[in-house]
C-alpha cells in the first residue's frame, strides 16, 4: 500500500444508509490522488471514471494498449480501432499514447501504475484476491488480464458488495474460490464500509449505515480501527 487512507481515525457514518453504487464509485474516485496512473477493471470499476475530479491529472490506462483513455465514445465518435479492455468504444485524450500488448503488460507487471480498481468474488483479510473463477466445475475457465491486474499496480483497490446474493460475506479469512493473486489487494470498497487489508489484517476506514461492531458480528474477519491503539 502506498496511498495513505483518507482519514486518520475510523469514521462511522451511522446517520445514513449503505452507499449506492454511484456513491461507491465516487468514494473511490475521491481517494485516488491527483496525477495518478490508474487502470479501471471492466464492469463496475469502469464507473469510477465518471467521478474523477476535473483537472485531477489522473491518466487512465487500458491494458489493450493505451494511456490517456477518455470517456466512452458515442455516435460518430465510435471508432472500431479504439476500445477499452471491456471492448467498449472509448475516446482519446490529448497526451495519449498507444503501445502493444507486451509493452502494456510490462507497464503493469513492472509496478508503474499507481492504482488498479477491480471487482471481486472474494478478498481475504490479508489481501488475497479471487475474481476470475467461481470454481463451478462446468465453468469454462477464462482469466483475461485479471491475474496481471491483480499484481499490476502499487495499490489494488477492490470494489464489491460486502455480501454475496446468498448473504455470505465476500471479505473472508481465506478465499475459497480459486485465487487470482496472493496478498495483492490493499483496500476494499463496499457499500457498508471501506477496509484496508494486508499483512497486518483488516482495518475499517469508514462505515456507512452501520458500525464497526455490527460489521464485526457479520464477518468472520477480525476488524481493527484506525487510530485505535
Partner 1 sequence: MTVIAETTADAVAGIADGATVLIGGFGMAGMPVALIDALIAQGATNLTVVSNNAGNGDTGLAALLAAGRVAKMICSFPRQADSYVFDGLYRDGRIDLEVVPQGNLAERMRAAGAGIGAFFCPTGVGTPLAEGKETRTIDGRDYVLELPIKGDVALIGAHAGDPLGNLVYRKTARNFGPVMATAAATTIAQVTRIVDTGDLDPEAVVTPGIYVDRIVQVTQEATA
Residues that are catalytic: 63
Among 100, 168, 174, 213, binds partner 1 (CB under 8 A): 100
Among 6, 17, 35, 217, binds partner 1 (CB under 8 A): 35
* Residue labelled with grid coordinates 476506514: 205
Residue 92 touching partner 1 (CB under 8 A): yes
C-alpha 183: how far from chain center: 14
C-alpha 216: how far from chain center: 22
| Closest CB to partner 1 among residues 79, 213 | 79
Nearest distance from residue 148's CB to partner 1, in Å? Answer: 4
Tell me the window of 14-22, 102-110, 199-207, 221-229 that interacts with partner 1 (CB under 8 A). Answer: 102-110
Residue 133 touching partner 1 (CB under 8 A): yes
β strands within the chain, DSSP E: 11-13, 37-40, 59-62, 66-72, 90-98, 115-118, 122-124, 129-130, 155-159, 171-172, 187-189, 193-196, 202-208, 223-225
Question: Rule CB under 8 A: which of 45-74 touch partner 1?
Answer: 57, 59, 61-68
Question: Which residues share a beta bridge with 130?
Answer: 122
| Rounded-to-integer distance, Cα 190 and Cα 223, Å | 15
| Rounded-to-integer distance, Cα 166 and Cα 160, Å | 15
| Rounded-to-integer distance, Cα 51 and Cα 26, Å | 5
Residue 118 touching partner 1 (CB under 8 A): no
Among 181, 188, 191, 194, binds partner 1 (CB under 8 A): 181
Query: Using CB under 8 A as the criterion, which residues of the chain lie in contact with partner 1 when the complex forms?
Result: 34-37, 57, 59, 61-68, 79-84, 87, 92, 94-102, 104-113, 128, 133, 138-148, 151-152, 178-182
Amino acid at each position: 500500500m502506498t496511498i495513505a487512507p483518507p482519514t486518520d481515525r475510523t469514521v462511522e457514518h451511522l446517520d445514513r444508509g449503505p452507499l449506492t453504487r454511484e456513491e461507491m464509485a465516487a468514494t473511490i474516485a475521491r481517494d485516488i490522488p491527483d496525477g495518478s496512473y490508474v487502470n479501471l477493471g471492466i464492469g463496475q470499476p469502469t464507473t469510477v471514471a465518471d467521478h474523477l475530479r476535473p483537472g485531477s491529472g489522473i491518466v487512465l490506462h487500458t491494458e489493450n494498449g493505451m494511456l490517456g483513455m477518455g470517456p466512452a465514445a458515442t455516435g460518430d465518435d465510435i471508432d472500431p480501432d479504439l476500445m477499452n479492455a471491456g471492448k467498449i468504444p472509448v475516446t482519446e485524450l490529448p497526451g495519449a499514447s498507444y503501445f502493444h500488448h507486451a509493452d502494456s503488460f510490462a507497464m503493469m507487471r513492472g509496478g508503474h501504475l499507481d492504482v488498479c480498481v477491480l471487482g471481486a468474488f472474494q478478498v481475504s483479510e490479508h489481501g488475497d484476491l479471487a475474481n476470475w473463477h467461481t470454481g463451478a466445475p462446468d465453468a469454462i475457465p477464462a482469466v483475461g488480464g485479471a491475474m496481471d491486474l491483480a499484481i499490476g499496480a502499487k495499490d489494488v483497490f477492490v470494489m464489491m458488495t460486502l455480501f454475496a446474493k446468498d448473504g455470505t460475506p465476500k471479505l473472508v479469512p481465506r478465499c475459497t474460490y480459486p485465487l487470482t493473486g496472493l496478498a495483492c489487494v490493499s483496500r476494499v470498497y463496499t457499500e457498508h464500509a471501506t477496509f484496508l487489508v494486508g499483512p497486518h489484517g483488516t482495518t475499517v476506514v469508514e462505515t456507512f449505515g452501520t458500525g464497526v461492531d455490527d460489521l464485526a458480528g457479520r464477518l468472520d474477519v477480525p476488524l481493527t480501527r484506525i487510530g485505535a491503539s
